[in-house]
Amino acid sequence: MFDLTGKCALVTGASGGIGGEIAKALHAAGATVGLSGTRVEPLEALATELGDRAHVLPCNLSDPEAVDALPKQAAEAMGSVDILVNNAGITRDQIFMRMSDDEWQSVLDVNLTSTMRLCRGVMRPMMKARWGRIINISSIVGATGNPGQANYAASKAGMVGLTKSMAYEVASRGITANAVAPGFIATAMTDKLTDDQKGKINAQIPAARMGAPEEIAAAVLYLASPEAAYVTGTTLHVNGGMAML
């Protein structure tokens, strides 16, 4: 089950907690992985850890030209891009009434527009190959909203609409497009929270704990696999029951 031998996967935000685990899971299943992100050091460290079949592909996702060039660079490094995981994302939280144009635009640019550009860049070879997997990492807040995150929530909801529309268009060509919507996941960011803060968060989660990055990676691995060929246009919520959608 879930054998990705011979497949090549491009993962954005691979320097982060969730992206790194996604890359590891796909790699462990036999895929060649392209590790993209802005910070080169952690990408190099991850590539070293993974050994063979790992390529470092730095990219600044707020630079449209760099984003447009990434699919080609990835295909040159790996031979193809069969699996695209749009995981990179930023937050610039602010209550809506105070939200500046820049806070809005920068989050939309990185989270939504770069996702669109990368999807567009990989679509043509996937169409020719009659096989492709696009997995966009959305968020629970794209479905539920969250105070202080109008920009982030809009970008994550936008990813779901984008995913569904693409899924319609290319389903007959063997390409699936799906979203994964994590709830609260324990990463370096949540480690900084106090026990009291963590307790309050956990009280909202039926599973009574935060998720692990590995649990997001497992969802991505499934959607990337040949076994998930009949699953497209869906959003797989991985949130410990925090929102049952």
Partner 1 sequence: MSDVADRVKKIVVEHLGVEEDKVVENASFIDDLGADSLDTVELVMAFEEEFGIEIPDDAAETIQTFGDAVKFITEAS
Active site (catalytic) residues: 152
Whose Cβ is closer to partner 1: residue 28's or residue 129's? 129
On whether 234 is known to bind a ligand per the annotation, the reply is: no
Query: Shortest approach of partner 1 to residue 125 CB, angstroms?
Result: 10
Query: Shortest approach of partner 1 to residue 92 CB, angstroms?
Result: 33
On whether 87 is known to bind a ligand per the annotation, the reply is: yes
Structure tokens at 187: 């990463």
Per-residue mark of binding to partner 1, 121-140 (x: CB under 8 A)? ---x--xx------------
Angle in degrees, CA 126, 131, 132, rounded to 5: 65
On whether 154 is known to bind a ligand per the annotation, the reply is: yes
163-192 residues in contact with partner 1 (CB under 8 A) are 169-170, 172-173
Distance (Å, rounded) from C-alpha 75 to C-alpha 32?
11
44 in Cβ contact with 32 (< 8 Å):
no
Total binding residues toward partner 1, as defined by CB under 8 A = 7
Cα→Cα distances 119→52, 106, 134, 211, Å: 26, 19, 7, 27
Those residues whose C-beta lies under 8 Å from the C-beta of residue 200, and which sit 6 or more positions away, are none
Structure tokens at 131: 């096989």
Query: Shortest approach of partner 1 to residue 235 CB, angstroms?
Result: 23
- The answer to the question of residue 116 lying near partner 1 (CB under 8 A) is no
On whether 140 is known to bind a ligand per the annotation, the reply is: no
- What DSSP line would sit under 139-166, residue for residue? -HHHHH--TT-HHHHHHHHHHHHHHHHH
Instruction: List, as residue ranges, the binding site.
Output: 38, 87, 152-156, 185
Instruction: List, as residue ranges, the binding site for NADP(+).
Output: 38, 87, 152-156, 185
By CB under 8 A, name the binding residues for partner 1: 124, 127-128, 169-170, 172-173
